[in-house]
Amino acid sequence: MGHLPIDFPHQENISFNPEEIHGLYKTIFNRRDVRGQFRPDSIPDDVLSRVLYAAHHAPSVGFMQPWDFMVIRDAGVRQRVRGLFDQAHDEAAEMFTEDKQDTYKSLKLEGILESPLNICITCDRKRTGPTVIGRTHMKVMDLYSSVCAVQNLWLAARAEGLGVGWVSIMEQEKLQQVLGIPQDIVPVAYLCIGYVDHFYDRPELESAGWLPRQPLQDLIHFDQWENRCSEEQDSLMGAIAAHAGFPSECV
Protein backbone atom coordinates (compact mmCIF):
# COMPACT_ATOMS: atom_id res chain seq x y z
CA MET A 1 0.00 0.00 0.00
CA GLY A 2 3.05 2.27 -0.03
CA HIS A 3 2.04 3.76 -3.40
CA LEU A 4 -1.06 5.38 -1.89
CA PRO A 5 -0.99 9.13 -1.17
CA ILE A 6 -2.25 8.27 2.32
CA ASP A 7 -0.37 6.98 5.35
CA PHE A 8 -2.39 3.78 5.62
CA PRO A 9 0.06 0.87 5.91
CA HIS A 10 -1.04 -2.66 5.16
CA GLN A 11 -2.92 -4.16 8.11
CA GLU A 12 -0.89 -7.17 9.21
CA ASN A 13 -3.38 -7.98 11.97
CA ILE A 14 -6.74 -9.07 10.59
CA SER A 15 -8.57 -7.18 13.34
CA PHE A 16 -9.37 -3.47 13.56
CA ASN A 17 -9.51 -1.66 16.87
CA PRO A 18 -12.88 -0.52 18.32
CA GLU A 19 -12.39 3.10 17.22
CA GLU A 20 -11.72 2.05 13.63
CA ILE A 21 -14.77 -0.23 13.62
CA HIS A 22 -16.95 2.50 15.08
CA GLY A 23 -15.73 4.97 12.46
CA LEU A 24 -16.63 2.63 9.63
CA TYR A 25 -20.17 2.04 10.85
CA LYS A 26 -20.64 5.73 11.66
CA THR A 27 -19.70 6.61 8.08
CA ILE A 28 -22.08 4.02 6.63
CA PHE A 29 -25.07 5.06 8.72
CA ASN A 30 -24.47 8.78 8.21
CA ARG A 31 -24.04 8.65 4.44
CA ARG A 32 -26.68 10.71 2.66
CA ASP A 33 -27.74 11.43 -0.92
CA VAL A 34 -27.11 15.18 -0.93
CA ARG A 35 -29.05 17.50 -3.23
CA GLY A 36 -29.43 21.02 -1.89
CA GLN A 37 -26.91 21.74 0.87
CA PHE A 38 -23.77 22.23 -1.24
CA ARG A 39 -21.33 25.04 -0.54
CA PRO A 40 -19.26 26.57 -3.38
CA ASP A 41 -15.95 25.81 -1.61
CA SER A 42 -13.50 23.99 -3.83
CA ILE A 43 -12.31 20.51 -2.87
CA PRO A 44 -8.54 20.40 -2.23
CA ASP A 45 -6.68 18.14 -4.62
CA ASP A 46 -5.30 15.96 -1.83
CA VAL A 47 -8.82 15.29 -0.52
CA LEU A 48 -10.20 14.53 -3.98
CA SER A 49 -7.20 12.28 -4.63
CA ARG A 50 -7.94 10.22 -1.51
CA VAL A 51 -11.58 9.85 -2.46
CA LEU A 52 -10.70 8.73 -5.99
CA TYR A 53 -8.11 6.27 -4.67
CA ALA A 54 -10.78 4.81 -2.39
CA ALA A 55 -13.08 4.36 -5.39
CA HIS A 56 -10.26 2.78 -7.40
CA HIS A 57 -9.73 0.21 -4.63
CA ALA A 58 -13.25 -1.19 -4.92
CA PRO A 59 -13.64 -4.90 -5.59
CA SER A 60 -14.10 -5.87 -9.24
CA VAL A 61 -14.96 -9.09 -11.03
CA GLY A 62 -11.83 -10.76 -12.37
CA PHE A 63 -9.89 -7.75 -11.08
CA MET A 64 -10.81 -6.06 -14.36
CA GLN A 65 -11.23 -2.60 -12.78
CA PRO A 66 -13.69 -1.52 -15.47
CA TRP A 67 -14.19 2.03 -14.16
CA ASP A 68 -13.05 5.44 -15.33
CA PHE A 69 -13.61 8.69 -13.44
CA MET A 70 -14.60 11.85 -15.28
CA VAL A 71 -14.05 14.96 -13.13
CA ILE A 72 -16.38 17.67 -14.44
CA ARG A 73 -15.79 21.26 -13.34
CA ASP A 74 -16.69 23.22 -16.48
CA ALA A 75 -19.84 25.28 -15.89
CA GLY A 76 -20.96 24.99 -19.51
CA VAL A 77 -20.77 21.21 -19.51
CA ARG A 78 -22.64 21.02 -16.22
CA GLN A 79 -25.30 23.39 -17.54
CA ARG A 80 -25.89 21.04 -20.46
CA VAL A 81 -26.16 18.09 -18.09
CA ARG A 82 -28.62 20.07 -15.98
CA GLY A 83 -30.69 20.57 -19.13
CA LEU A 84 -30.84 16.79 -19.58
CA PHE A 85 -32.02 16.45 -16.00
CA ASP A 86 -34.71 19.13 -16.39
CA GLN A 87 -36.15 17.43 -19.46
CA ALA A 88 -36.16 13.97 -17.86
CA HIS A 89 -37.49 15.35 -14.56
CA ASP A 90 -40.55 16.84 -16.29
CA GLU A 91 -41.17 13.57 -18.10
CA ALA A 92 -40.75 11.53 -14.91
CA ALA A 93 -43.29 13.61 -13.00
CA GLU A 94 -46.04 12.35 -15.31
CA MET A 95 -45.12 8.73 -14.63
CA PHE A 96 -46.18 8.77 -10.98
CA THR A 97 -49.70 8.42 -9.68
CA GLU A 98 -51.58 11.67 -9.22
CA ASP A 99 -51.30 11.57 -5.44
CA LYS A 100 -47.50 11.39 -5.73
CA GLN A 101 -46.92 14.00 -8.44
CA ASP A 102 -47.02 17.10 -6.23
CA THR A 103 -44.60 15.56 -3.76
CA TYR A 104 -42.29 14.51 -6.57
CA LYS A 105 -42.23 17.99 -8.07
CA SER A 106 -41.40 19.52 -4.68
CA LEU A 107 -38.34 17.35 -4.14
CA LYS A 108 -34.82 18.65 -4.75
CA LEU A 109 -33.27 15.81 -6.76
CA GLU A 110 -29.93 17.18 -7.97
CA GLY A 111 -27.11 19.60 -7.20
CA ILE A 112 -25.43 19.67 -10.59
CA LEU A 113 -24.71 23.41 -10.63
CA GLU A 114 -24.59 24.05 -6.88
CA SER A 115 -21.80 21.55 -6.19
CA PRO A 116 -18.24 22.64 -7.08
CA LEU A 117 -17.67 19.60 -9.26
CA ASN A 118 -19.37 16.54 -10.70
CA ILE A 119 -17.92 13.08 -11.26
CA CYS A 120 -19.16 10.54 -13.79
CA ILE A 121 -18.12 6.94 -13.12
CA THR A 122 -18.23 4.70 -16.15
CA CYS A 123 -17.80 1.02 -17.03
CA ASP A 124 -15.63 -0.26 -19.87
CA ARG A 125 -17.16 -3.68 -20.49
CA LYS A 126 -14.33 -4.70 -22.86
CA ARG A 127 -11.41 -3.63 -20.68
CA THR A 128 -9.77 -7.02 -20.16
CA GLY A 129 -11.18 -8.90 -23.14
CA PRO A 130 -14.28 -11.01 -23.74
CA THR A 131 -13.62 -13.66 -21.09
CA VAL A 132 -13.42 -12.46 -17.50
CA ILE A 133 -13.13 -14.55 -14.35
CA GLY A 134 -16.47 -14.37 -12.56
CA ARG A 135 -18.33 -12.87 -15.54
CA THR A 136 -18.52 -16.02 -17.66
CA HIS A 137 -22.11 -16.70 -16.59
CA MET A 138 -23.27 -13.46 -14.95
CA LYS A 139 -22.53 -10.86 -17.62
CA VAL A 140 -23.58 -7.85 -15.53
CA MET A 141 -20.87 -8.34 -12.92
CA ASP A 142 -18.67 -5.68 -14.52
CA LEU A 143 -21.45 -3.12 -14.11
CA TYR A 144 -21.88 -4.18 -10.49
CA SER A 145 -18.14 -3.71 -10.02
CA SER A 146 -18.40 -0.09 -11.12
CA VAL A 147 -21.24 0.38 -8.65
CA CYS A 148 -18.88 -0.86 -5.93
CA ALA A 149 -16.53 1.96 -6.94
CA VAL A 150 -19.43 4.39 -6.54
CA GLN A 151 -20.09 3.13 -3.02
CA ASN A 152 -16.41 3.34 -2.06
CA LEU A 153 -16.26 6.92 -3.32
CA TRP A 154 -19.47 7.82 -1.48
CA LEU A 155 -18.28 6.48 1.86
CA ALA A 156 -14.81 7.99 1.54
CA ALA A 157 -16.34 11.34 0.64
CA ARG A 158 -18.62 11.20 3.69
CA ALA A 159 -15.65 10.42 5.94
CA GLU A 160 -13.93 13.51 4.47
CA GLY A 161 -16.97 15.68 5.23
CA LEU A 162 -18.09 15.81 1.59
CA GLY A 163 -21.62 15.33 0.38
CA VAL A 164 -22.44 13.25 -2.70
CA GLY A 165 -25.63 13.15 -4.73
CA TRP A 166 -26.33 10.53 -7.41
CA VAL A 167 -28.30 11.95 -10.36
CA SER A 168 -29.98 9.25 -12.45
CA ILE A 169 -32.93 11.19 -13.92
CA MET A 170 -31.53 11.71 -17.43
CA GLU A 171 -31.25 9.72 -20.64
CA GLN A 172 -28.06 7.69 -20.81
CA GLU A 173 -27.39 8.20 -24.53
CA LYS A 174 -27.78 11.97 -24.26
CA LEU A 175 -25.42 12.06 -21.29
CA GLN A 176 -22.86 10.15 -23.33
CA GLN A 177 -23.15 12.75 -26.09
CA VAL A 178 -22.76 15.71 -23.74
CA LEU A 179 -19.67 14.19 -22.09
CA GLY A 180 -18.17 12.74 -25.27
CA ILE A 181 -18.28 9.20 -23.85
CA PRO A 182 -17.80 6.50 -26.53
CA GLN A 183 -20.86 4.38 -27.25
CA ASP A 184 -19.28 1.21 -25.89
CA ILE A 185 -18.53 2.84 -22.50
CA VAL A 186 -21.44 2.78 -20.04
CA PRO A 187 -22.01 5.80 -17.76
CA VAL A 188 -22.93 4.15 -14.47
CA ALA A 189 -23.24 7.08 -12.06
CA TYR A 190 -23.35 10.86 -12.40
CA LEU A 191 -22.40 12.30 -9.03
CA CYS A 192 -22.49 15.80 -7.54
CA ILE A 193 -19.82 16.25 -4.87
CA GLY A 194 -18.77 19.02 -2.49
CA TYR A 195 -18.73 20.36 1.03
CA VAL A 196 -22.16 20.96 2.54
CA ASP A 197 -23.79 23.15 5.18
CA HIS A 198 -25.19 20.12 6.96
CA PHE A 199 -26.19 16.49 6.59
CA TYR A 200 -29.75 15.46 7.34
CA ASP A 201 -30.46 13.06 10.19
CA ARG A 202 -32.40 10.80 7.84
CA PRO A 203 -32.54 10.33 4.05
CA GLU A 204 -34.56 13.14 2.49
CA LEU A 205 -37.05 10.83 0.78
CA GLU A 206 -37.71 9.13 4.10
CA SER A 207 -38.18 12.49 5.86
CA ALA A 208 -40.47 13.71 3.07
CA GLY A 209 -42.72 10.69 3.55
CA TRP A 210 -42.04 9.34 0.08
CA LEU A 211 -41.22 5.88 1.42
CA PRO A 212 -40.30 4.47 4.85
CA ARG A 213 -37.19 2.42 5.54
CA GLN A 214 -38.09 -1.26 5.43
CA PRO A 215 -37.47 -3.20 8.66
CA LEU A 216 -34.42 -5.41 8.13
CA GLN A 217 -36.07 -8.34 9.89
CA ASP A 218 -38.72 -8.38 7.11
CA LEU A 219 -35.99 -8.87 4.49
CA ILE A 220 -34.15 -11.88 5.97
CA HIS A 221 -34.51 -15.40 4.54
CA PHE A 222 -32.89 -18.65 5.68
CA ASP A 223 -31.66 -21.30 3.24
CA GLN A 224 -34.83 -21.13 1.10
CA TRP A 225 -36.75 -18.04 0.00
CA GLU A 226 -39.92 -19.08 1.80
CA ASN A 227 -38.11 -19.56 5.12
CA ARG A 228 -38.46 -16.27 6.98
CA CYS A 229 -37.72 -17.41 10.52
CA SER A 230 -37.12 -20.46 12.63
CA GLU A 231 -36.56 -21.21 16.29
CA GLU A 232 -32.77 -21.50 15.87
CA GLN A 233 -32.70 -18.03 14.27
CA ASP A 234 -34.72 -16.28 17.01
CA SER A 235 -31.55 -14.87 18.59
CA LEU A 236 -30.35 -13.27 15.35
CA MET A 237 -33.77 -11.86 14.55
CA GLY A 238 -34.04 -10.42 18.04
CA ALA A 239 -30.64 -8.77 17.71
CA ILE A 240 -31.60 -7.30 14.35
CA ALA A 241 -34.88 -5.93 15.70
CA ALA A 242 -33.03 -4.31 18.60
CA HIS A 243 -30.18 -2.85 16.47
CA ALA A 244 -27.94 -4.72 18.88
CA GLY A 245 -24.40 -3.39 19.19
CA PHE A 246 -24.82 -0.04 17.46
CA PRO A 247 -24.55 3.16 19.52
CA SER A 248 -27.14 5.85 18.87
CA GLU A 249 -24.71 8.17 17.08
CA CYS A 250 -24.20 5.52 14.40
CA VAL A 251 -27.78 4.62 13.62
Average pLDDT in the 95-115 region?
Answer: 93
How many other CB atoms are there within 10 angstroms of residue 251's CB atom? 12
What's residue 58's pLDDT? 98
User: How high does pLDDT run on average in the chain?
Assistant: 91
**pLDDT per position as a tens digit, 159-173:** 999 999 999 999 999
Higher pLDDT, 97 or 13: 97
**Domains of the chain: which residue ranges?**
18-212, 214-251
Check whether 152 has a pLDDT greater than 80.
Answer: yes
**pLDDT per position as a tens digit, 200-239:** 999 988 988 899 999 888 898 988 899 887 666 778 888 8
- Mention every residue, 6+ apart, whose C-beta is less than 8 A from residue 194: 38, 39, 40, 41, 43, 111, 114, 115, 116, 117, 162, 163
Check whether 26 has a pLDDT greater than 80.
Answer: yes
pLDDT bracket for residue 123 (50, 70, 90):
very high
Of 10-14, 71-75, 240-244, where does mean pLDDT reach its minimum? 10-14
Closest CA to 153 of 225, 56, 28, 73: 56
What's residue 7's pLDDT? 62
Average pLDDT in the 112-116 region?
Answer: 97
Higher pLDDT, 144 or 2: 144
Burial state string for 11-47 with b = 16 or more CB within 10 A and e = fewer than 16: eeeeeeeeeeeeeeebbeebbbbbbebbeeeebeeeb
Instruction: Answer whether 68's CB lies under 8 Å from 153's CB.
Output: no
Average pLDDT in the 109-124 region?
Answer: 97
What's residue 2's pLDDT? 41
Check whether 1 has a pLDDT greater than 50.
Answer: no
What's residue 170's pLDDT? 97
What's residue 237's pLDDT? 83
Pick the CATH number of 18-212 from 1.10.1200.10, 3.10.129.10, 1.25.40.10, 3.40.109.10: 3.40.109.10
Average pLDDT in the 24-35 region?
Answer: 95
- Contacts of 127-131 with CB under 8 Å at 24 or more apart are 127/64, 127/65, 127/66, 128/62, 128/64
